[in-house]
Amino acid sequence: MSATNIRRLTLMAASAALVTTIALASSRREVHAADEIPPRIQLAILLDTSNSMDGLIDQAKARLWKIVNEFLYAKKGDVTPRLEVALFEYGKSSLPESEGFLRRVSGLTDDLDHISQELFALTTNGGEEYCGYVIREAVQSLAWSPSPEDLKVVFIAGNEPFSQGPIDFRESCRTAIEQGILVNTIFCGDETLGVNTHWKDGALLADGSFHAIDSNQAVAHIAAPQDEAIVKLGTSLNETYIPYGAQGWANRSRQTVQDDNAEKLENGAAVDRAVCKSSLNYCNSLWDLVDAVERGSVELADVDVDTLPEAMQSMTAEQRAAHVQSMGKKRKAIQAEIQTLNAERSKYIAAKRAEEAPEASTLDVAIGNCLRTQAADKRFDLTPPPVETTTSSDTDADSRSGEGAAPENGDAEQKPAPKPTQKVAPAKKRIVLQPAPEDC
């Protein structure tokens, strides 16, 4: 073999080896990227905001936190899924007819305080209810997961014929299920009327469930001995949040506003919200330094010191790090205590409910029943884990001793606290939810 041919074969072998190396590296990157994306539960809520739907909107406000708490302990394998919620309104005459009398209030987000804020801002007035139109918009405009293993569901609630409008609901529902998106229909009124006006047909076309509810029924609430303590602990969690960035203080203020909104309802919403705040579903790493540092979405050294609470601005880098760690410990201790109390509360409520008539058919009951079945079909486990008995007072001493380099007034900077809200989608795998969440 000539020297030229030998060189040519050597180059070809080297090139092949290089291609293989690049392909393997690319494959490893893809696997790594996939590993960092947690399973997702995506929920789009489409609410009729025409004149007669005030009761429906009130139920949604009152039961948002109960609905998301269906996934309080959710896991798939050993990974905690990411919960994302979207919100649409439709059927209001003040919305543009050219756009189907509908509005996308929020895209899919894990910022639950944002969803709560928008729900409380909804109003009703007369209009045309185009179910096929709003379903198509939700399917086409939202950032749905491409994974067939994730749970992707639409809930549409209203009281006019499902067939109204220029967009055929059959086409919209078929398009949804082709993308793995289930459509569940909730008719506000008599079940037979809902069937006759095609609400059940819409659900059947998209592998969903049909429900009929009384949208004017007051939501049921069983008061439990643990309620008051849980609400107080939920409020005390706010003291552990450290706002940062341009929107930090505004979002912290929004957090308190949503606490107040839940408390004003006086139907258990404040308890359900506090329980949610003890879970991985409630994460604010876009504006809270504790969540952001724990998630790894920000480097403490890169944070603009001028956007931090005043008392932290004069700390050294080591003191700031110690203070963030201290607030994280304190938060986890409070969250653990809430979950312990909530386990006791859940047992109490279950016993009381067994003595009473079945729950009335309201929005939260319909959505909850549906989600439990559909989540199980996607192999999501919603079973609560064993709860350890840990109190915030037990861990407070550790939290204070761990503050180390932080100045004695390190906690004081929390008091000017305006109020909050905002959430970020987890970039990394999250561990199974424990009574004291390890990460958000």
* Number of domains the chain is built from: 2
**Residue 167 contacts residue 131 (beta carbons within 8 Å):** no
Domain membership of residue 114 (yes or no) is yes
Q: Which tokens sit at 425?
A: 């989608």
Domain membership of residue 377 (yes or no) is no
178, 298: one domain: no
81-102 pLDDT per residue, tens: 999 999 999 999 999 999 999 9
- Whether pLDDT at 29 is above 70: no
Element (DSSP H or E) covering residue 27: helix 3-36
Q: How confident is the model at residue 61 (pLDDT cuts 50, 70, 90)?
A: very high
Domain membership of residue 371 (yes or no) is no
What is the predicted pLDDT for the residue at 84? 96
Element (DSSP H or E) covering residue 334: helix 317-355
179, 252: one domain: no
Domain membership of residue 379 (yes or no) is no
What is the predicted pLDDT for the residue at 145? 97
193, 54: one domain: yes
187, 236: one domain: no
What is the predicted pLDDT for the residue at 138? 98
Domain membership of residue 31 (yes or no) is no
Domain membership of residue 133 (yes or no) is yes
β-bridge partners, 157: 47, 186
- Per the structure, the complete domain to which residue 268 belongs is given by 227-356+387-414
Q: How confident is the model at residue 431 (pLDDT cuts 50, 70, 90)?
A: very low
Separation CA 34–CA 31 (nearest Å): 5
275-306 pLDDT per residue, tens: 999 999 998 999 999 999 988 889 999 999 99
AA identity, residue 232: K
**Residue 183 contacts residue 173 (beta carbons within 8 Å):** yes
191, 141: one domain: yes
- The CATH number for 141's domain is 3.40.50.410
232, 196: one domain: no
Domain membership of residue 403 (yes or no) is yes
- Whether pLDDT at 343 is above 80: yes
Separation CA 62–CA 16 (nearest Å): 63
Q: Classify strands 82-90 and 151-158 as parallel, antiparallel or unpaired.
A: unpaired
198, 165: one domain: yes
What is the predicted pLDDT for the residue at 388? 53
201, 245: one domain: no
- Whether pLDDT at 330 is above 60: yes
Helices 169-178 and 131-141, packing angle to 10 deg = 30
Helices 269-277 and 248-265, packing angle to 10 deg = 140
What is the predicted pLDDT for the residue at 295? 85
193, 47: one domain: yes
Domain membership of residue 333 (yes or no) is yes
- Whether pLDDT at 314 is above 70: yes
Q: How confident is the model at residue 386 (pLDDT cuts 50, 70, 90)?
A: low
Helices 392-401 and 317-355, packing angle to 10 deg = 170
138, 271: one domain: no
401-421 pLDDT per residue, tens: 344 334 434 443 444 444 333
188, 69: one domain: yes
Closest to 125 (Cα-Cα) out of 87, 158, 93: 93
The 3-state DSSP class for residue 102 equals strand
Give the dihedral sign, CA 214/215/216/220: positive
**Residue 113 contacts residue 419 (beta carbons within 8 Å):** no
Separation CA 364–CA 220 (nearest Å): 10
206, 233: one domain: no
